[in-house]
Amino acid sequence: KAGVTQTPRYLIKTRGQQVTLSCSPISGHRSVSWYQQTPGQGLQFLFEYFSETQRNKGNFPGRFSGRQFSNSRSEMNVSTLELGDSALYLCASSLSPSGNGGELFFGEGSRLTVL
């Protein structure tokens, strides 16, 4: 079966712009989690959605937002981009919420560069 698909894979933006990233989970998975990955910082949790509801939110400013659609696809948006937002953004899907301890299936990520 198809894996988790993230688009776009690479993008370059300038400070002050906004960006929308998309994630299509594995068919049948209802939970989608988003992470920011930067060198030396590991995976920083952004938010998790299950059945269109945000279950958890990490310690990121309000410029970071997300949503999940009825088909479980998810988007995240970052407004007023800053240089420090340059990172690899990873999406992961799972059958049930991550707090249940089940396996997360990750996409290849969207690499954002802010100039």
Partner 1 sequence: TQLLEQSPQFLSIQEGENLTVYCNSSSVFSSLQWYRQEPGEGPVLLVTVVTGGEVKKLKRLTFQFGDARKDSSLHITAAQPGDTGLYLCAGVQPSGSRLTFGEGTQLTVNP
Look at residues 99, 88, 91, 89 and name the one whose alpha carbon lies nearest to residue 72.
Answer: 91
For residue 82, state whether it binds partner 1 (rule: CB under 8 A): no
Return the structure tokens found at 106.
């990750």
Give the position of tokens 């249940």: 100
Beta bridge partners of 64: 78
Stretch that binds partner 1, among 12-20, 33-41, 63-71, 78-86 (CB under 8 A): 33-41
Minimal distance, residue 99 CB to partner 1, in Å: 4
For residue 103, state whether it binds partner 1 (rule: CB under 8 A): yes
For residue 97, state whether it binds partner 1 (rule: CB under 8 A): yes
Question: Please, what sign has the CA dihedral across residues 109, 66, 79, 60?
Answer: negative
For residue 74, state whether it binds partner 1 (rule: CB under 8 A): no
Q: Which of 30, 55, 60, 95 binds partner 1 (CB under 8 A)?
A: 55
Q: Give the C-alpha separation, 36 to 52, whole Å.
A: 21
Q: Which of 5, 20, 22, 56 binds partner 1 (CB under 8 A)?
A: 56
